């Protein structure tokens, strides 16, 4: 078995899990939900093994490094982080229907990693700028934050779907979703969690930049966009804490915030130029 085979299987596994979670939502069948969870957990274990094996393989190639160094590896880790975050939510809130709005993100991330244009899957050695322990701290903190924001965005969509169908009583599949106040509460908690990790991600990035280049902040497009994302979520939290924003407004902000995350992640690499260019292939 090679790591790319294991990661290929995980792509497929998340596709199946996404389908099962969506089926559970539509057909209200309890059993398919349990199967979806099982498939997700098994796929997650396979993916974890794949990431571990890729790490091991890099040592075999003579330049061992954690598999967190390029676009492909970050996408795999992004999907991994979404799944573990979702599984914890599933256990904590004992609700499988959230899966239909979270696991597809994990699948899309893996599918894009595998089939996206210009994404190389090759394990390549680290250029001097990336040879730092801050690489691991920076990538892990950022992507845990991103994963939480992805789930918050999925929950935001879920909230909007549910609230738009509120007027029609007992509207089929919508009726099986958790209550609006519950969703609202989970969105809020997820954003808080993501915000803490995003802050840590920006800070570890700044410390790393200072140790590599002697500047902790240089208004590089990637840095600036991460700060824009931070401003959006900071504003969201203030709107909720001090002005009592709830429900639809917060759901929309969770979606807008994630659009900013996605732009920070991809848009900057593909549309703008800057210090993070090595993350683009």
Partner 1 sequence: MSNKKNSIWSFFASVKLALFVLFFLAIASVIGTVIPQNSPPDAYIQEFGANMARFFQILDITDMYNSWWFISLLIMLALNLTICTIERLPNVWRLVVQDNLQTDIDRLAKMRPGKEILTSVSLDEAADRCRASLAENGWRAKEAPRDNGILLFAQKGPWTRFGVYIVHTSILVIFAGAMIGSHFGYKGSVMIPETRSADTIFSFNNEEPIKLGFEVLCKRFTLTHYANGAPKEFRSDLAILENGKEVLTKSIVVNDPLSYKGHTFYQSSYQSYKKFLVSLTDNQTKQTESFLIEPGKEIKWPAEDVTFGIINREMTETPFLYKYKVWFKDSTGIAEPFWITDGDTITVTRGGKDYTFALKEFFATGLQVTKDPGVWYVYIGCTLMLLGLMVAFFLSHRRIWVYIKQEGDTTSVLLSGNANKNRPTFEKNFDAVSRSLDEKIKSRS
Residues that bind partner 1 (CB under 8 A): 63, 124-125, 127-129, 131-132, 134, 192, 195-196, 199-200, 203, 206-208, 210-217, 219, 221, 224-225, 227-228, 231-232, 234-235, 238-239, 242-243, 268, 272
Residue with Cβ nearer partner 1 (48 or 280):
280
**Residue with smaller CB distance to partner 1, 176 or 199:** 199
Q: Do residues 127 and 275 make contact, with C-beta atoms less than 8 angstroms apart?
A: no
Name the minimum Å distance from CB 146 to partner 1.
17
Q: Which is nearer to partner 1, 107 or 245 (CB)?
A: 245
Are the C-beta atoms of 155 and 187 separated by less than 8 Å? yes
The residue among 28 and 252 lying less far from partner 1, judged by its C-beta, is 252
At closest approach, how far in Å is the CB of 197 from partner 1?
Answer: 10
**Rounded least distance, CB 100 to partner 1, Å:** 25
Nearest distance from C-beta of residue 138 to partner 1, angstroms: 12
Taking the complex as a whole, how short is the minimal distance between the CB of residue 203 and partner 1, in angstroms?
4
> And the tokens for 223?
């840095």
Residue number, 2 or 215, with CB nearest to partner 1: 215
47 or 204: CB nearest partner 1? 204
Closest distance of CB 272 from partner 1, Å? 6
Q: Is there a contact between 123 and 200 (Cβ–Cβ < 8 Å)?
A: no
């Amino acid at each position: 078995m090679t790591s790319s085979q294991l990661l290929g299987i995980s792509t497929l596994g998340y596709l199946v899990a996404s389908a099962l979670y969506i089926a559970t939502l539509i057909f209200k069948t309890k059993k398919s939900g349990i199967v979806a969870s099982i498939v997700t957990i098994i796929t997650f274990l396979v993916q974890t093994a794949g990431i571990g094996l890729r790490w091991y393989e890099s040592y075999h190639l003579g330049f061992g490094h954690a598999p967190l160094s390029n676009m492909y590896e970050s996408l795999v880790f992004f999907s991994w982080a979404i799944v573990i975050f979702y599984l914890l939510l599933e256990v904590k809130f004992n609700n499988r229907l959230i899966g239909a709005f979270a696991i597809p993100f994990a699948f899309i991330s893996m599918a894009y990693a595998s089939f996206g244009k210009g994404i190389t899957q090759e394990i390549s050695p680290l250029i001097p700028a990336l040879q730092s322990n801050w690489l691991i701290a920076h990538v892990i903190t950022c992507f845990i934050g991103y994963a939480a924001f992805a789930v918050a965005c999925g929950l935001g969509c879920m909230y909007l779907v549910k609230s738009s169908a509120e007027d029609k009583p007992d509207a089929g599949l919508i009726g099986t979703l958790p209550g609006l106040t519950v969703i609202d509460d989970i969105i809020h908690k997820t954003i808080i969690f993501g915000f803490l990790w995003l802050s840590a991600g920006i800070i570890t990035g700044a410390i790393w930049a200072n140790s590599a280049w002697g500047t902790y902040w240089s208004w590089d497009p990637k840095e600036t966009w991460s700060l824009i994302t931070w401003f959006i979520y900071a504003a969201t939290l203030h709107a909720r804490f001090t002005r009592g924003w709830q429900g639809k407004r917060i759901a929309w902000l969770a979606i807008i915030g994630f659009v900013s995350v996605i732009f920070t992640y991809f848009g900057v690499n593909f549309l703008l130029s800057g210090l993070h260019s090595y993350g683009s292939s």
